Amino acid sequence: MLYQTIDILGTIAFAISGVLVAMEKRLDLFGVFIIAFVTAIGGGTLRDLLIGNTPVGWMHDLTYVVTIFVSVVFAIIFVNKLKYLRKSLFLFDTIGIGLYTMVGVEKGLEAELLPVICIFLGTMTACFGGVIRDILCNEIPVIFRKEIYATACILGALSYFLIIQFPVKDEYAYIAAIFVVILLRLLAVRFKISLPSIYGKQAS
């Protein structure tokens, strides 16, 4: 139940982040829905295909499609309440990567994959939807910039496997790892921590 709830919350967060980007680009209603949809299910779809979990999750469970539709309607109606689109986008995107990282890790564990593969699977689940969103909206994906993004997902997933080495319930380790991802991303942006540039000072 916990894992499904986390999955749904991640879907909502990423769908709203997709709506915010699409509306900032002034796409029509169909475009807004498509961007929200691919943002929410992109990473999970690729993950399921790689581990042979087909048909992919959203195809045999309409809960995800309905959740995305409701999230789109909600975000459009209340977009004026989200006065600072970039800040709102950052918030929902950050929550989304935290939630989806651990959804991907859990799917990897269910498939009996090695921990290191689960970490990569979680990172891909969290990041790939945003990559598709940014490419479709003519933006350089955040994961390809020097911001701490995928790195936060990797460290958060790694923290899960470290925490479960102690006498802690899996559920608590799972939730703690989500917060690690979110906290690392927030701290990185707050204190302008980034990966080193390979292009020297002129590129910064």
pLDDT of residue 79: 83
pLDDT tens-place string over residues 115-152: 999 999 999 999 999 999 999 999 999 888 877 999 99
Give the N- to C-terminal CA distance of the chain in Å, as an integer. 45
- State which amino acid sits at residue 137: C
- Whole-prediction pTM value? 0.92
pLDDT of residue 147: 78
Task: Between 83 and 44, name the one with better pLDDT.
Answer: 44
CB burial string 20-40: b at 16+ within 10 A, e below: bbbbeeebeeeebbbbbbbbb
- The residue written with tokens 């900032």 in the block is 24
pLDDT tens-place string over residues 4-43: 899 999 999 999 999 999 999 999 999 999 999 999 999 9
Contact, 102 vs 177, CB < 8 A?
Answer: yes
pLDDT of residue 84: 67
Q: For residue 47, what pLDDT band results from cuts at 50, 70 and 90?
A: very high
Contact, 177 vs 160, CB < 8 A?
Answer: yes
**Alpha-carbon span 5 to 122, nearest angstrom:** 16
pLDDT tens-place string over residues 62-104: 999 999 999 999 999 988 776 566 688 899 999 999 999 999 9
Residues above pLDDT 90, as percent of the chain: 78
pLDDT tens-place string over residues 148-197: 999 999 999 999 999 999 999 999 999 999 999 999 999 999 998 888 87
**CB neighbours of residue 200 within 10 Å:** 7
The DSSP letter of residue 39 is H
Rg (CA), the chain: 17
Bond before 55 cis per omega within 30 degrees: yes
**Alpha-carbon span 137 to 87, nearest angstrom:** 18
Q: For residue 202, what pLDDT band results from cuts at 50, 70 and 90?
A: low
Query: Which residue intervals of the chain are DSSP H helices?
Result: 2-24, 29-50, 57-60, 63-77, 85-110, 115-136, 150-163, 170-190
Residues above pLDDT 70, as percent of the chain: 95
pLDDT of residue 182: 97
So where are the chain's domains?
2-203
CB burial string 73-93: b at 16+ within 10 A, e below: eebbeebeebeeeeebbbbbb
